[in-house]
Amino acid sequence: AQSVTQLDSHVSVSEGTPVLLRCNYSSSYSPSLFWYVQHPNKGLQLLLKYTSAATLVKGINGFEAEFKKSETSFHLTKPSAHMSDAAEYFCVVSGAMNRDDKIIFGKGTRLHILP
Amino acid sequence: SAVISQKPSRDICQRGTSLTIQCQVDSQVTMMFWYRQQPGQSLTLIATANQGSEATYESGFVIDKFPISRPNLTFSTLTVSNMSPEDSSIYLCSVAGISYNEQFFGPGTRLTVL
């Protein structure tokens, strides 16, 4: 069984300061992990993905995430927030390439950027 | 990646009516998925639609309420039947990438039921 927990429903940071969005997962075997972003009234966009290669994953728009197996975490970070980063972010876990392994979405974290 | 379009982008419907949402992909894909995103919530998988077979529904979703068609490898429809205000949500279709566990999403259909 798999699950994913996004620890914060809302995060507020000032423009130009670092961003940290936390995600913990649970999986019976080596998972694939993803971060998606959803801007208001827009579709979901893949930010980055981890699929058992390098544990530090770089994505689009300056975001990156580190897979830490010992902590079962996959936190999303960005060194310097921009106003355009304000959006909803979803952490997603998926199991092996098997259609019986459902893709599980976290509840989402809304990122607010303060001027 | 795949380019996915959905029609309509949004609609406002009356209670008791039905709405069919279309999902078109720019390439042939085996697996297509339909999700619901209720207001302020995360995404919940409704069903998986494979071409040539009946859709597989997740717990809590039934074919009578959400009939799905998958006539070919680039197209699918989801119908929301006998709608009630509780059906007001964003409905998204997605397709699996080269690896099943990576998905590409359509822009969504925002449904409001009065």
Q: Reduce the secondary structure of chain A to three states and give it as a string.
A: CCEEEECCCEEEEECCCCEEECEEEECCCCCEEEEEEECCCCCEEEEEEECCCCCEEECHHHCEEEEECCCCEEEEEECCCCHHHCEEEEEEEECCCCCCCCCEECCCEEEEEEC
Count other Cβ atoms within 10 Å, centred on residue A23.
25
CB-based contact B102 A99, cutoff 8 Å: no
B positions 8-37 inside 8 Å of A (CB): 31
B positions 35-74 inside 8 Å of A (CB): 41-45, 48, 58
The pLDDT score that the predictor gives to residue B52 is: 80
**B45, B48, B100: residue with CB nearest A97:** B100
- The string of pLDDT tens digits covering residues B14-69 is 999 999 999 999 998 888 999 999 988 889 999 999 888 889 999 899 999 999 99
The pLDDT score that the predictor gives to residue B100 is: 58
CB-based contact B92 A32, cutoff 8 Å: no
> What is the chain A residue with the closest CA to B99?
A97
- The string of pLDDT tens digits covering residues A25-64 is 988 777 889 999 998 877 888 899 998 778 899 999 999 9
Q: What is the mean pLDDT of residues B94-114?
A: 84
CB-based contact A108 B106, cutoff 8 Å: no
Query: A42 — contact with chain B (CB < 8 Å)?
Result: yes
Query: A103 — contact with chain B (CB < 8 Å)?
Result: yes
